Amino acid sequence: MEPLTWTGGLGTVLNPLLLIAVIAFVVSVVVQFLATTFAGADRIRYGEDGVAVAEAGFTGLSNNALKYSFYALVAVVLGYIVVGMFLGHRGAGIIGALSAQMAPVWIALILTFAASMVYKRRLGLYGKLFDSPVGMIGLGLVLFWVFTAIFTGLFDMIATHEPLEQYSGMKNKVPGTPLRGAEEGDYAWYLLGGDNLARDVFTRVIKGAPIVIAIAPLATIFAFMVGITLGLPAGYYGGRFDTLLSFAANLILAFPVILLFYLLVTPEIRATGIPAYMAAVLFAFPLIFIGVLLNSRYHTQPSVRTPLLIIVLAVGFWLYASMVSEWERGTVVDLLPAWMDLFDIPGGVLVVFVAVVFVNSPTVFRIVRGLALDIKTRDYVAAAQTRGEGAWYIMLWEILPNARGPLIVDFCLRIGYVTILLGTLGFFGLGLPPESPDWGSTINDGRKLLSIYLHPALPPALSLLSLVLGLNLLADGLREESLKD
């Protein structure tokens, strides 16, 4: 078999168009920068109703040129993806093969965006994202990796090989190298090349997505549960309670993050059981939050509140006990008999999860506390106090909903921070097993020969970059739209 080229026969048509689009876009960026810098005051053209409809003159032309050159660039890139998906490796080379493998993700993205745009006026803040180009781009990048994680982790699709599978003669091979000794049922190429242990780089990048997507959002949610549960009463009540919690938060934040991670994931610390005990404490906060939330909401309706709390807290405690119990390893915390234990979190993942929650909770606490200090002085809070509402009802149903804008934005940004932290831990070989296909470990494996071979380290690095960029753009879009409310 012949090695695959990047674009195959498709490149004879689209490569020149891509070059023209890139040159036009770069020139438009330069011209637009010069126009806004040196052209002086913009001339605005107004409609009959007196509303500004467009910029006139050279600045307006440069803005239009930038917009349409960007559209042209996006159209060519979509051409590679769409046409390559149908032609596959035979007609579109590596790009076509990659696009064909990612076909479930493209279909899911198209359906999600189409449905969201049709019903965007009914979807609240999420629907308003589709009025923001920045928010749409960020959402697209994030959903790309979310769908990749779903189709890879749950349905075992997309990946072409096993992440630990090694083939003789494939060590450090360049992208598109045909598989030596391929048997029936084996995928015939290493699409993004082989690493220094002859493993498929594309498969390891794809298999690393579920690890990041599973840990980062869940750890961020748990950190928010801890921060909200402690930050609301600290800001609302103040006094010594606030002073004590603020001192504890500042004490944790003053500790170097990487050193704290290193201490928590070292075998000596893990052997003491400290991470397991920390998990038992931190994982209880979502249960406490949900219980207090439901109790405050249905406090005046005991016939609804009591059975609802029993059911929700029973199921919640079962999940909580399954998360912190470790029957298979027979170690520190065992709250359930083995036959009731729903699942076991691998030791390395548990330690990383606990470390991320512990490090991020104080920052969330400070944000929530500051918002509570501000919002508790508003008139609608005073009105709720006059009605005789309880303190937790006011905190959870008056203050928290009115703090949702900054918290949603920070949630998206914090997932990005957590993703970077996971990559950093994997890069230093901390927490997760050494053979794990998480992006940090894959980057670390590839950087050893970076001066000779770029392809093992570059795909996971770009994957990490694209996910964090998408989260940041999504946060910008949410911030822009929430300010309009």
Indicate whether 290 pLDDT > 60.
yes
279, 151, 289: which is closest to 224 by C-alpha? 289
Q: Cα–Cα–Cα angle for 145, 149, 150, nearest 5°?
A: 120
Q: How far is CA 31 from the centre of its chain?
A: 35
Question: Which contiguous run of DSSP H or E holds residue 55?
Answer: strand 52-56
Which segment, 3-7, 141-145, 327-331, 354-358, is predicted with the most confidence on average? 141-145
For tokens 């696009």, name the residue. Answer: 99
Out of 97-101, 160-164, 435-439, 481-485, least confident range: 481-485
48-69 CB burial, b ≥16 within 10 A, e <16: eeeeeeebeebbbebbebbeeb
Q: Place 187 in a pLDDT band, splitting at 50, 70 and 90.
A: confident
Q: Is the pLDDT of residue 139 over 90?
A: yes
pLDDT: is 332 or 342 the higher one? 342
Q: What is the pLDDT of residue 382?
A: 92
Task: Answer yes or no: is pLDDT of 235 > 70.
Answer: yes
Q: Measured between alpha carbons, how far is 329 from 345 in angstroms, rounded to an integer?
A: 11
State mean pLDDT over 446-465. Answer: 87
- Interatomic CA distance for residues 37 and 383, integer angstroms: 51
- Residue range 58-80: average pLDDT? 84
Is the pLDDT at 459 greater than 70, yes or no? Answer: yes
Mean pLDDT (whole number) for 297-315: 91
SS3 assignment, position 56: strand
Share of the chain above pLDDT 90, in %: 36
Query: Average pLDDT in the 408-426 region?
Result: 88
State yes or no: pLDDT of 31 exceeds 60: yes
User: 212 with 461: CB under 8 angstroms?
Assistant: no
> In sequence order, what are the beta bridge partners of 190?
177
Assess whether pLDDT exceeds 70 at residue 175: yes
Per-residue pLDDT, 227: 94
Q: What is the pLDDT of residues 249-284, one digit of tens each?
A: 999 888 887 777 777 777 777 777 788 788 888 989
| Mean pLDDT, range 58-68, rounded to an integer | 78
- pLDDT surpasses 80 at 391: yes
pLDDT at 292: 93
**SS3 of residue 179 by DSSP:** coil
pLDDT digits (tens, 9 = 90+) for 380-390: 999 999 988 88
pLDDT of residue 273: 76
- Residue 342 is predicted with a pLDDT of 66
Give me the mean pLDDT over the 14-32 stretch: 90
Average pLDDT over residues 162-170: 87
The reported pLDDT for the residue numbered 329 is: 45
Q: Whole-angstrom Cα distance, residue 225 to residue 284?
A: 9
Q: What is the pLDDT of residue 47?
A: 53
End-to-end CA gap in the chain: 59
Q: Quick check: helix, strand or coil at residue 331?
A: coil
DSSP category for residue 285:
H
Arithmetic mean of pLDDT over the chain: 85
Residue 237 scores a pLDDT above 70: yes
Tokens, residue 297: 């909401």
At residue 125's C-alpha, the angle toward residues 121 and 129, to 5°, is 80
How many angstroms separate the CA atoms of 190 and 478, rounded? 39
Mean pLDDT to the nearest integer, 355-359: 88
Say how far apart CA 326 and CA 319 lie, in whole Å.
13
Pairing of strands 189-190, 52-56: unpaired
pLDDT category of residue 332 using cuts at 50, 70 and 90: low
Q: Is the pLDDT of residue 330 over 50?
A: no
Q: Determine how β-strand 43-46 pairs with β-strand 52-56.
A: antiparallel
Is the pLDDT score of 327 beyond 50?
no
**Residue 55 has what pLDDT?**
52
Which residues, including other chains, have CB under 8 Å from residue 349's CB and lie 6 or more apart? 215, 431, 432
In the chain, the amino acid numbered 73 is L
* pTM of structure: 0.86
Pairing of strands 177-178, 52-56: unpaired
* Cβ proximity of 136 and 477 under 8 Å: yes
The pLDDT value recorded for residue 203 is 93
- pLDDT higher than 90, residue 375: yes
Q: What is the mean pLDDT of residues 293-302?
A: 89
pLDDT score of 393: 92
Q: What's the pLDDT score for residue 328?
A: 43
**How many of the other CB atoms lie within 10 Å of CB of 450?**
12
Helix (H, G, I), strand (E, B) or coil at 441: helix
Helix 458-482 with 201-237: angle, nearest 10 deg: 30
